[in-house]
Structure 1
Amino acid sequence: MGETPAPLTGRRWFFPSALLHELDPDAARAGRRPRRTARDWVVDFSCFLLAVGVGLTAVEALADNPHVPDGLAVVDQVIGALACAAVWLRRRWPLGLAVALTPLNVFSDTSGAAGLIALFTLAVHRPFRYVAWVGGVNVALVPLYYWVRPEADLPYLVAVLFAGLLTVAVVGWGMFVRAKRQLMVSLQDRARRAETEARLRAEQGQRLAREAIAREMHDVLAHRLTLLSVHAGALEFRPDAPPAQTARAAGVIRESAHDALQDLREIIGVLRAGEPDDTGRPQPTLAALDTLVAESREAGMKVSLVHRVEDPAAVPSSVGRTAFRIAQEGLTNARKHAPGTDVTVTVTGAPGTGLDVLVHNPPPEGEVPPVPGSGQGLIGLTERATLAGGRLEHGPTPQGGFEVRAWLPWG
């Protein structure tokens, strides 16, 4: 499975460049500077126009304010023009711009909007400790500003209170935007980790299933080779055996060699994923289904077996073994997730059409507590059926139950 692209960055122009940089782990590791997106250009140009517009309004107010000399008004306009131009630097140096504009705002009306924009940018892009110091200094300088530049239309206390609340509101807005972006980054990181963990769990389940299949193949292959060796040894030590007995032994050797080659092809595909161990276990076949159902009934389950297979003795051992494992895992899942229900195991098939295995259970009565680690057995069954050349499907039924349905080739 390949890496899943970040779903939040599908429309890159819609998000701020700083947020995209945090959502892109490759860019963060490389330390690349984020490029402005289309949204960044629109926002920066809007901030620049806002600063210029408020500055022009302040120029008209300066002309009507008798407390401001003409020379100071000219200096005020020059400082305001420089502050508006510096707004374009707010993304690269948010802290430096906010610190530089803080003392200028005391002596310049036309740079007030640029100072608030710089303070907002600082709250968005930097931690709270920087915002607290710079924002606190800005609020503390508000009384000094209106003492140097008293408003002609507003009382001193009203003007100070309004400007202080405006500064606090801008800082709060910036901190809210920063918290929202951090939440998006956190959700994206959690989604990425969940996808990675799910992929690792699936890969681990497939690896364990392949190793288990490889162990079974090892046992079967050893059994076939031992059988072949026994019959070959009999021919070697009984060269005077009757022709019919010799022909029968040669046929057994040929069939055993053919089956061993088939098992060997399967085990080679399995061994690519992991090393099998040498633990020998008796291998079940389709004939062991009756024993499996009997054991389940003794354990307290209500199990019905429907066996409609033409010539069960002719079913290949590898196919019968796979069918047995599918039925076994289906009964195990029913016992864990639907205790007390009537489980039906249906096996049908014929040579040339394949073998169908169905394990069905109705919905359980009452609430069943979740079982940790569920789903890994079904992953192994799917892998097993695929290696056998068949297919397996599982899932809930429209009536609320659950079924495992498999088809295995029988040629």
Structure 2
Amino acid sequence: MTRTEYPWLLPSAMAGPLDPERAGTRGGRRPRRTVRDWVVDLIVFLFAVFIGMLALDASERVGNGELVVMADLLVGIASCCTLWLRRRRPPALAIGLSLVQIVSPAASGAALVALFSLAIHRPFKPVVYVGALALAAATAQAYLRPDPTTPRVVSIVLGALLTLLVIAWGMLVRSRRQLVLALRERAVRAETEAALRAEQAQRLAREAIAREMHDVLAHRLTLLSVHAGALEFRPDAPPPEVARAAGVIRDSAHEALQDLRMIIGVLRAPGDDGERPQPTLVTLDALVAESREAGMEVTLDSGVDDPAAVPATTGRTAYRIAQEGLTNARKHAPGTGTTVLVSGGPGDGITVEVRNEAPRGPVPKVPGSGQGLIGLTERATLAGGRFEHGPTDDGGFTVRAWLPWSA
């Protein structure tokens, strides 16, 4: 959503109907007049001419001399012509025509139009000042250029009522325009905010999907990489070792494919968690057993009495942290001992720690994104917990997380 789709919300358009003097310009030039502007100006010009003609007719009927009638005609024509400039100087035009109508009733129509335009284009305070002047001018006209066929009091009352009606009508039009502009701007703002919220939701969803795919697939693909690297660097390995490595590669590829299908299934059908159950703290034993089958030396020390009682979200986060810790230990310290410690209880929270010993000899290069620890930090933070990691004094590495567990 851009402002160019709503041209009335551009600065020049917003200023135009309400304040022409502050309307936006391009290259020092005023905006071009539209067909609607010409039509409106023509209508108000003809209205002012009509009122002026009525005033001239009344002036002739009351017996004014030709000089007076001719002067009224010229002043009326000049006053009506000035209305074509009413959008540029509404206050000055309204004040000038209000004063002119005191001595020339033929300018009364132009004065009413100028007053109406002022009420549309200016706020309340200047309209009140100029309106008071127009009321005084209408009263003065009843004394300086009275109509013998109408009582003076009636002329004053009619002039005042007509002036107040024009001002009220103009202010009503101004209020309506402001309301329409406010509603349009609010609609554009609401659409923009909705688009931003949708974009943010999509970004968060992409991040969640990327984190889930990393956690699910990194473990399997690391097994593939490590055992494939072992076969590459040890082509003379005994057949049983080669067979075991090939079996791990086959099983890991199969599991990775199943996990990938599960994620794709969730993406295709929102709200469906897939055919395979989500891992929790209960399945941590299976994860450790799988790592042992892959050749890792893993020790599991669990101090949680009933893993099934751990909330599903907390248990899943703890599982992912242990999984990522084992994956990193397999990549960066292959063949060393790794310990997984799990402790805690209701009210105390769950503590998960994965600690591996210092690597023995050179470590083979295993490709990785380097986002695993960042993802674990985000997971623990979203769960309301803490996450820390770093090397140990003996050259090993430790990842540790604390997750809340309400009593």
1: CA distance between counterparts of 2:100 and 2:278?
A: 88
**Mapped pair 1:56 → 2:45:** no
Letter in 1 for 2:73: Q
Aligned to 1:390: none
Change (3 A) 1:218 1:37: same
Aligned to 2:122: 126
**Mapped pair 1:47 → 2:44:** yes
**1:54/1:113 contact within 8 Å kept:** yes
1:261 to partner: Cα distance: 11
1:253 to partner: Cα distance: 3.8
1:290 to partner: Cα distance: 11
Aligned to 1:210: 206
Give the one of 275, 278, 286 matched to 2:275: 286
1: CA distance between counterparts of 2:2 and 2:247?
A: 49
1: CA distance between counterparts of 2:37 and 2:165?
A: 22
1: CA distance between counterparts of 2:147 and 2:14?
A: 39
Aligned to 1:143: 139
Give the one of 113, 116, 125 matched to 1:117: 113
1:93 to partner: Cα distance: 1.8
Output aligned runs, 1:34-113, within 5 Å: 34-66=31-63, 68-113=64-109
**2:95/2:133 contact within 8 Å kept:** no
**1:21/1:28 contact within 8 Å kept:** no
Q: TM-score, normalised by structure 2?
A: 0.56
2: CA distance between counterparts of 1:109 and 1:21?
A: 30
SS at the partner of 1:286?
coil
Output aligned runs, 1:5-44, within 5 Å: 5-6=5-6, 28=24, 33-44=30-41
Letter in 1 for 2:50: G
2: CA distance between counterparts of 1:55 and 1:231?
A: 102
1:52 to partner: Cα distance: 1.4
1:248 to partner: Cα distance: 6.4
Aligned to 2:292: none
Give the one of 178, 194, 197 matched to 2:174: 178
Identity across the alignment (%): 50
Change (3 A) 1:286 1:257: closer
1:65 to partner: Cα distance: 1.5
- Segments of structure 2 that go 5 or more residues without pairing to the other structure are 264-272, 281-308, 311-407
**Mapped pair 1:198 → 2:187:** no
Change (3 A) 1:3 1:137: closer
Letter in 1 for 2:203: R
1:4 to partner: Cα distance: 7.9
- Segments of structure 1 that go 5 or more residues without pairing to the other structure are 10-16, 268-283, 292-297, 300-411
Letter in 2 for 1:58: A
1:249 to partner: Cα distance: 3.4
1:182 to partner: Cα distance: 0.2
Aligned to 2:361: none
**1:21/1:34 contact within 8 Å kept:** no
1:136 to partner: Cα distance: 0.7
Letter in 1 for 2:238: A
**1:19/1:181 contact within 8 Å kept:** no
1:263 to partner: Cα distance: 10
Aligned to 1:224: 220
**1:231/1:252 contact within 8 Å kept:** yes
2: CA distance between counterparts of 1:250 and 1:142?
A: 105
2: CA distance between counterparts of 1:262 and 1:147?
A: 99
Aligned to 1:398: none
Change (3 A) 1:8 1:127: closer
String of CA shifts for 1:273-300, please: whole Å, max 9, x gaps.
Answer: xxxxxxxxxxx97321698xxxxxx99x
**2:103/2:141 contact within 8 Å kept:** yes
SS at the partner of 1:111?
helix
Letter in 2 for 1:131: V
1:95 to partner: Cα distance: 1.6
Q: 188-197 or 73-82: which moved more?
A: 73-82
**2:118/2:127 contact within 8 Å kept:** yes
Change (3 A) 1:207 1:133: same
Q: TM-score, normalised by structure 1?
A: 0.56
Change (3 A) 1:255 1:83: farther
1:239 to partner: Cα distance: 3.2
2: CA distance between counterparts of 1:149 and 1:257?
A: 104
